[in-house]
Amino acid sequence: MATLISGIVFNITSEYINKRKILGVQSVEGVRQENENQQKVWKEDLNYWLNFKQKYPDYNYTYLKLADLYSKLNQAEESQKMWLKYEKEKRRSGF
């Protein structure tokens, strides 16, 4: 009888957790999928800003966006390059 009750409670709890996001309770698969989706969004944003920089080369804010996105994509070296380009352009333009 106790096994039956614990099985029912487990099933009810599992259904509840699956229907709601509870702080600290999330499947590994769910986290992995969210990370993959976020990576995809960051890559799309990166492509957008790279194209934007080609169209508007004098818009220096682009370097900051690129540095941020490269950092989020764990490309520290590229992020640093963009940051240094931004700093160089900032000094050159007197801001």
66-88 pLDDT, tens digit per residue, is 999 999 999 999 999 999 999 99
Residue 21 corresponds to which amino acid?
A: K
* pLDDT for the residue numbered 1: 55
**What distance lies between CA 79 and its chain's CA centroid?**
15
Q: Which residue has the higher pLDDT, 59 or 1?
A: 59
* Residues 51-62, mean pLDDT to the nearest whole number: 95
- State pLDDT tens for residues 7-51: 454 455 556 555 555 555 557 777 888 888 999 999 999 999 999
**What distance lies between CA 91 and its chain's CA centroid?**
30
Q: How many angstroms separate the CA atoms of 24 and 1, rounded?
A: 31
